[in-house]
Amino acid sequence: MAKRRPTLTENVSTRVARARRSAERNKLFRFLGPRGAVTLVLGCALSIGGVSEAFDGVHFLVEKDLDAVRVVRQKSHRSTVVAQLEDGFAANSFFKLSQALPQSLVTRKRSMFTDAWLPLTGATEPKTDVLHEELARIGNVLRRQFFTDQIPYGDLIHQKAQKYSVDPALVAAVIEQESKFNKGARSQVGAQGLMQLMPRTGRWMGASNLYDPEQNIDAGVKYIKYLQGRFDGNLKKTIAAYNAGEGNVIRYGGVPPFGETQTYVKRVMNNYARRNAQLQKYGQEQGGGAPAEVPVGVVTLR
Q: What is the DSSP string of 169-205?
A: HHHHHHHHHHHTT-TT-B-TT--BTTTTB-HHHHHHT
**What pairs with residue 61 in β-bridges?**
72, 107
Residues 145 and 271 in one domain: yes
Q: Summarize pLDDT for 209-243 with one digit per residue, the tens.
A: 999 999 999 999 999 999 999 999 999 999 999 99
The whole-number pLDDT of residue 169 equals 95
The CATH number of the domain where 220 resides is what? Answer: 1.10.530.10
More confident residue, 49 or 73: 73
Distances (CA, A) of 65 to 19, 87, 110, 115, 122: 17, 11, 6, 10, 19
Percent of the chain with pLDDT over 70: 56
What percent of the chain has pLDDT above 90?
43
81 and 197 in a single domain? The answer is no
Same domain, 173 and 268: yes
Please report the pLDDT score of residue 4 as a whole number: 64
List the domain range (segments joined by +) for residue 144: 130-285
- The answer to whether residue 208 scores a pLDDT higher than 50 is yes
Pick the most confident of 21-30, 34-43, 122-131, 226-235.
Answer: 226-235
Helix (H) or strand (E) holding 74: strand 69-75
Number of independent structural domains in the chain: 2
Instruction: Indicate whether 154 and 261 sit together in one domain.
Output: yes
Higher pLDDT, 294 or 92: 92
Boundary (domain end) residue, out of 75, 110, 145: 110
The radius of gyration of the chain's CA atoms, rounded to the nearest angstrom, is 30
pLDDT in tens, 240-274: 999 999 999 999 999 999 999 999 999 999 999 99
Residue tagged active-site, from 63, 178, 260, 293: 178
Residues 164 and 273 both lie in one domain: yes
Is 95 among the domain residues? yes
**Does the annotation mark 178 as catalytic?**
yes
Of the candidates 83, 44, 91, the one whose C-alpha atom is nearest the C-alpha of residue 65 is 91
Residue 57: what pLDDT? 65
